[in-house]
Structures are given as structure tokens and as C-alpha cells.
């Protein structure tokens, strides 16, 4: 899918400020309670915006934005400083414009890391410094902080939509040299997820229960109505599942990165098509079960996950034991760590359950 680049023009700070102030025309910065509840808002376009990003922000589709704003379907162009009309399903927190005063030791990369944004976007927000490799003490740098694309909802005590998992399925041996005794299939639960390959989606009772619990809490706590796609877990009985080295003992499961609203298919074609706020919410919900050993995700994807977590209010101290980035590949002891090939999905490994008496974490 070709992604639209915003038509760039010099950033008029005053004009952009006015656009941002009209970005949300309602004081209620909450998610719409149902799909039928929508609100007309105006989105002020800033550097770095694309139709895909704007659609993700408000829970709508790219084609809807084109239709509402009477854009050319063949070459839809959005312009910095202008507004888009959006019939929003989700009304996110308004974007916050901050001014960072440069102090001794500051750099483009350092400021970008501090606020959890990309260096390229930071430079586009500050065209008056275009071409300057270094910043000087006293320079004023504009930073736009975005509300979560996937807003955390108010937690309720409503029961989770869990379905029964076959009991008695036990993980035997290690993830890369093991099997499953009495394999349990991942049960159908359309309100939570879709199972892409049922014949390769067997596991231990404990692992499947924790997987379903984590996804259920994610659905309850986050305003994301896209699909959560489970790609594969283990063969019935376990054992070698090519091309994977692990996935043998029913505790390893691959989950595809959640797509932004309105995109077809189940597999992202680029990182631009991933809803990173939803991805963070899903990863965090799984980790919060306290039954996850590792989550494997490539280092480059971790960078985007890390930024989404910071936008959600997580601090660097809180993230250090959770995500390997910004430490280098091979360093640290975080839950989310690098593994080659995990760039369109993440791999979750669950702990051995109390009934898994022959289960082993290592060979």
C-alpha cells in the first residue's frame, strides 16, 4: 500500500499553533463508547501527518477521510496548517505543543529521545534550523506530543469474555526440545482474537489461559477494535514446527502486530501500517499477567514500541525492565528483546504452569 507523504512547506509556528488548538473541538477527550457514537472534529495538520496516521488517531479509515474532505482519491494531498474534517469514533487527547529550550549537551537525537519522538519528525517541526547539525544553548525547539492513538479506557469490573480452555494439557520439556501432553487447542473467541492456523495452534492449558486473559484485559482496557491475530503456537502433540526452533512445548505463540484502523489483511507491509499504541497496550497487558518469560521483537520495531509506551505515560525507569531498546542488541535483561525475523509479529513465551511438572525453561 503506497503511503501518502504530507506536502511540506515552511512551518509557520503561529499558524500551526492555531491549527493544533482546533484539533479537538470537544472538551471530552474520551473514546466513543460504541461504534455508533461519533463526533465531528477538526484535525489541524502538522509536519509528519499522513492520512494513515490521522485515520489511526481518530479510529476511522483513510478512505473516509478522503471522502469527508473531498480529496482527490487518486492523489490525496493534505497541507500543513490546514484542517481536516473527521467524523471521529475516538476523540483522543489533544496534541500538546511544547517548547524545549536547548541547554549545554543537548542534541537533536537527545531531545528526540527525551520526548519519545523520531529525530526526523523533530527536524521537520523546526524548519528554521534546517541544515544545522548542531543546536546552541538558548535555541527554542518545538515538540509536538501526541495523545495515544489507542486511548486507555476507564477500567470496569465487567466480567471478561473468556471461554473455557481444555484442561489437562501439559508442557513437557524445553521450548526448543519438547512436546505437549494432552494438547489443548486455542478456543474460538471472536470477541477477542482470530486464530489464523488452527492446526498449528495447540498448547498447554496454562499458556492458552494466560494468552486469552492478556488479550481480554487489552480489549477491556484499550479502545482498539481492530483484529488481534494469532498466527501459530504449536502442532498437536508438540515437537518440531518448521521453520521455528522453538514452538515445541506449547508455550510459544506468535501474534501479528495490530494494524491501524481501516487497513485490510492481517500482516503489516510496513511499520507505518502498525498501530503502535495498540501494540504497546497488547504487550503490556500480556506482561501484566506475570506469566510471560520473553517477548521477541526486532530491535528496530522495539524503538517504535518504546515511543508508544512513552506517549502512554511510561517513564524510562519503568520501561527499562520491560523493553530492551534503547540498549543495544544482546544487552540488558528486559522482557521484550531482539530476535531476528520478528518484525511483523511478536513472539510470546509463557512460563511453565503449576501443573507442568515436566516442563523446562531451557534445554
pLDDT tens digits along 176-223: 999 999 999 999 999 999 999 999 999 999 999 999 999 999 999 988
pTM across the whole model = 0.70
From the CB of residue 139, how many other CB atoms can be counted at a distance below 10 Å? 16
From the CB of residue 97, how many other CB atoms can be counted at a distance below 10 Å? 16
Mean pLDDT of 86-114: 86
From the CB of residue 27, how many other CB atoms can be counted at a distance below 10 Å? 7
20: which DSSP letter? H
- In the chain, the domains with their CATH numbers are 13-88 (3.10.350.10), 96-145 (3.10.350.10), 170-350 (3.30.1380.10)
The percentage of residues in the chain with a pLDDT greater than 90, rounded to a whole number, is 61
Q: Which residues contact 242 (CB under 8 A, 6 or more apart)?
A: none
* Ramachandran angles phi, psi of 317, nearest 5°: -65, -45
- Amino acid 264: pLDDT: 74
- Amino acid 176: pLDDT: 93
Q: Which of 288, 286, 290, 289 is nearest to 346 (CA)?
A: 286
Rounded to whole angstroms, the Cα distance separating 117 from 295 reads 23
- Amino acid 363: pLDDT: 58
pLDDT tens digits along 234-263: 999 999 999 998 999 999 999 999 987 667
Q: Tell me which of 311 and 251 has the higher pLDDT.
A: 251
Rounded to whole angstroms, the Cα distance separating 47 from 9 reads 8
Amino acid at each position: 500500500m503506497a503511503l501518502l507523504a504530507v506536502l511540506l512547506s515552511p512551518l509557520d509556528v503561529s499558524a500551526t499553533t492555531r491549527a493544533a488548538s482546533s484539533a479537538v473541538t470537544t472538551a471530552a477527550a474520551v473514546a466513543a463508547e460504541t461504534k455508533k457514537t461519533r463526533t465531528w472534529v477538526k484535525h489541524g495538520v502538522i509536519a509528519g501527518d499522513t492520512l494513515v496516521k490521522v485515520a489511526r488517531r481518530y479510529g476511522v479509515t483513510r478512505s473516509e477521510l478522503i471522502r469527508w474532505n473531498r480529496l482527490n482519491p487518486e492523489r490525496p494531498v493534505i497541507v500543513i496548517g490546514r484542517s481536516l474534517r473527521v467524523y471521529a469514533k475516538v476523540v483522543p487527547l489533544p496534541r500538546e505543543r511544547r517548547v524545549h529550550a536547548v541547554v549545554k549537551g543537548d542534541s537533536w537525537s537527545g531531545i528526540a529521545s527525551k520526548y519519545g519522538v523520531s529525530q526526523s519528525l523533530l527536524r521537520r517541526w523546526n524548519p528554521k534550523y534546517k541544515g544545522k547539525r548542531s543546536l546552541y544553548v538558548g535555541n527554542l525547539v518545538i515538540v509536538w506530543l501526541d495523545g495515544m492513538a489507542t486511548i486507555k479506557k476507564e477500567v470496569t469490573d465487567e466480567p471478561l469474555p473468556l471461554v473455557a480452555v481444555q484442561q489437562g494439557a501439559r508442557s513437557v520439556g524445553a521450548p526448543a526440545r519438547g512436546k505437549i501432553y494432552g494438547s489443548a487447542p486455542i478456543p474460538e473467541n471472536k470477541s477477542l482474537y482470530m486464530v489464523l492456523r488452527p492446526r498449528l495452534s495447540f498448547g498447554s492449558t496454562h499458556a492458552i489461559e494466560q494468552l486469552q486473559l492478556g488479550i481480554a484485559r487489552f480489549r477491556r482496557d484499550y479502545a482498539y477494535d481492530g483484529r488481534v491475530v494469532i498466527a501459530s503456537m504449536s502442532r498437536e502433540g508438540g515437537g518440531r514446527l518448521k521453520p521455528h526452533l522453538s514452538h515445541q512445548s506449547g508455550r510459544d505463540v506468535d501474534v501479528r502486530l495490530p494494524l491501524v484502523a481501516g487497513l485490510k489483511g492481517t500482516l503489516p507491509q510496513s511499520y507505518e501500517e502498525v498501530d503502535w499504541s495498540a501494540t504497546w497496550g497488547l504487550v503490556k497487558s500480556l506482561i501484566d499477567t506475570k506469566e510471560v518469560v520473553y517477548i521477541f521483537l526486532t530491535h528496530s520495531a522495539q524503538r517504535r514500541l518504546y515511543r508508544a509506551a512513552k506517549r502512554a505515560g511510561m517513564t524510562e525507569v519503568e520501561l527499562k525492565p520491560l523493553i530492551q531498546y534503547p540498549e543495544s542488541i544482546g544487552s540488558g535483561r528486559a522482557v521484550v528483546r531482539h530476535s531476528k525475523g520478528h518484525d511483523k509479529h511478536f513472539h510470546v513465551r509463557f512460563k511453565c504452569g503449576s501443573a507442568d511438572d515436566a516442563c523446562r525453561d531451557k534445554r
